Amino acid sequence: MIVETAAPAAPADAAEWWRGAVIYQIYPRSFADTNGDGIGDLPGVTAKLDYIASLGVDAVWLSPFFTSPMKDFGYDIADYRAVDPIFGTLADFDTLLARAHALGLKVLIDQVWSHTSDEHAWFAESRSSRHNPKADWYVWADAKPDGSPPNNWQSVFHGPSWTWDARRGQYYLHNFLAAQPDLNLHHPQVQDAILDTARFWLDRGVDGFRIDALNFAMHDPELRDNPPVTDPGAKRLRPFDFQHHLYNQSHGAIPGFLERVRALFDSYPGARFTVAEVGGEQADREMKLFTQGPARLNSAYGFNFLYADALKPRLIAETMALWPGGEGEGWPSWAFSNHDAPRVVSRWLGPARDREAFARLAMLLLVALRGNVFLYQGEELGLPQADVPFERLRDPEAVANWPATLGRDGARTPMPWRAEAPNAGFSTGEPWLPVDPAHPALAVDRQEADPGSMLYFTRRLIQLRKAHELLRLGAFRPVPAPPPLLVFERGNGELLCAFNLGQEAAECVLPAGWRVIAETGDFPQPLSGLIAERA
C-alpha cells in the first residue's frame, strides 16, 4: 500500500538533479533486440525509453556499447569514440540521446579508463617497440632474471596480472583479462587522451559518466609485491583473493587526475554527473576520497550491498554510517543489483521462499536509503537470478572459475517484455544468453496488466521518493531495534522507516502520531516494511 501524495517536488537545486536521483541501469546487450541477431542494440533501447520514463526515474546509465572484440562484453574497448556495429551507429546513439532528453531523462554512459582492449590502436602502437610515441602509454616491465613476471600481482579473473609480449620483450600489466591491458594513467599524455575522449561524448550531449573500476586506474610505479592475506578464515576462490591489493591499484595520484576530470565537467553548461565504481577492500576509504570536496567526482558507486551474502540490519546501519553527511563529504550511490552481481532476490532470499514479498521489501528499503538509487533492468519486475547451464556460459570469469564462482551471466540474461512471445519478446532470433523459464511469467506485459504487480509497486515508490525531499536528501539516523528489525529515521525525525528483514514475526508497535505512507506486507510480520510520516 502507498498513500497518494502531492505531485513530485522539484529538486531544491536543479544544478544538482543527480543528488538523490533514481538511475536505471541498462545492459544494452540484453535489453531489446531490433534486428533479430539475438543481441540487444541501441535502437532497442530507444524503442523502450517510454517504458523507462514511465517508471519515473531521473536518468539511465548505459553499460558499454563502444567498439570492442567483446572478450569482456564491452568492457574491453577498442575505440572509445565509436559504437560497435552489433549495437548500431553513432547516429543511433544520437537518436537515443535526443529521445531520452525529450522524455526528461538524463543519459549516463560508461567510461572505462583503467584499461583498453588489446585491439585498441593505442596498444598496437605501444607494443610495437620500446621507442614509439605511445611506448609508455601502457604498463610495461622487464622480466625478472629467471624470466618470471615482474612481481606477484594477480588479476581479478584468474592468474597473474602480467602477460609476456614478444614484440617488446617485456610483460604488460592487466588487472583483468590478458586482452585488457592496463593504461598508464600516470602519463600526462594518456590523461590528456582520456579527457579528449570525455569531451567527445560531453560535446554530443551526454549528462554524465559512470567510471568503471576507477581504483584500478593507477598502479605503484615501483611495482612492489602485494602482501598475502594471512587471515585463515578469508574466502579464497581465485588467486586474486590471496593478496591485499595495495600496489596494483589505489595509487595516491588518482584524486589529482579526478580534479582534472571535474574541471572539464565544470567547463560545460548545465549539470553533468560523475559517479565512480569503487570495489575492493579499500573501497569505503576510496569512495570518500574520490568524492571529497567540490573539485572531485559527484558520487561513488559502492559494492557494500552488491557483494553482501545476506540482508541484515547491521549491514544497512554500518554502511550508512560511513556517510554521515559531514563537511566536504561526497555523495554516495547504492545498488542492490547490477550486471556484475547475482540478482538481489536470489542472492539475499535464497530458494523456496516468498520471492515477491522479498522483492517488494528490498525495493522499499532501497528507495528509503540516503544516496542515489541505482535500479538494474528487471529489478522493477522482481526478476530472480537466471539459471544458465555451463554450456551456455559466456562470462570469462564464470568459465575460468566454474563452479566455485557462477559468474555474471545469470544477471545478464534477456529482459522479458512479452510473456507469450518467442524469447519473451527480447528478440526474434536466438538470444546470446538463454531466457530463464521463470522470467516470462514476470514479463512487462503481464505486470502492466496488473495494478497490484511489482512493476506498479516500483513506480509508486519512485513517485513517493520524488514527492518527499526527505527521502532524497534527508539525513539518516538509526533507531535502536533488535534484529531482524531495522528501524531508522530520515530527516530530523520527520520520516520513520521500519522493516522486518527476517523470516519470523517480530514485536514492534508503531508509535502514536505516525501516518503510514508506504508499506509492503503486514509489519512487523516477516519480510515486511513501512515508511511513515508524522501525522
Q: Is 212 a catalytic residue?
A: yes
Residue 530 forms beta bridges with which residues? 498, 519
Closest of 68, 40, 4 to residue 377, by C-alpha? 40
Which of 84, 182, 277, 489 is flagged as catalytic? Answer: 277
Q: How many CB atoms neighbour CB 177 within 10 A?
A: 23
Looking at residue 351, its pLDDT comes to 61
**CA-based max dimension of the chain:** 76
Looking at residue 8, its pLDDT comes to 40
Rounded to whole angstroms, the Cα distance separating 286 from 302 reads 10
What's the Rg (C-alpha) of the chain?
23
Rounded to whole angstroms, the Cα distance separating 265 from 199 reads 9
Peptide bond into 64 cis (omega under 30): no
Rounded to whole angstroms, the Cα distance separating 334 from 408 reads 19
Q: What is the per-residue DSSP string for 475-521?
A: -EEEE---TTEEEEEETTTTEEEEEE-SSS-----PPTTEEEEEEES
Looking at residue 12, its pLDDT comes to 43
Rounded to whole angstroms, the Cα distance separating 454 from 55 reads 12
Which of 76, 212, 380, 436 is flagged as catalytic? Answer: 212
**Per-residue pLDDT tens listing for the chain (535 residues):** 555 443 344 444 567 999 999 999 999 999 999 999 999 999 999 999 999 999 999 999 999 999 999 999 999 999 999 999 999 999 999 999 999 999 999 999 999 999 999 999 999 999 999 999 999 999 999 999 999 999 999 999 889 999 999 999 999 999 999 999 999 999 999 999 999 999 999 999 999 999 999 999 999 999 999 999 999 888 888 899 999 999 999 999 999 999 999 999 999 988 899 999 999 999 999 999 999 999 999 999 878 999 898 999 999 999 999 999 999 999 999 999 999 999 999 999 866 579 999 999 999 999 999 999 999 999 999 999 999 988 898 988 777 777 766 569 999 999 999 999 999 999 999 999 999 999 999 999 999 999 999 999 999 999 999 999 999 999 999 999 999 999 999 999 999 999 999 988 899 888 889 999 999 999 999 999 999 999 8
Whether this prediction's pTM lies above 0.75 is answered by: yes
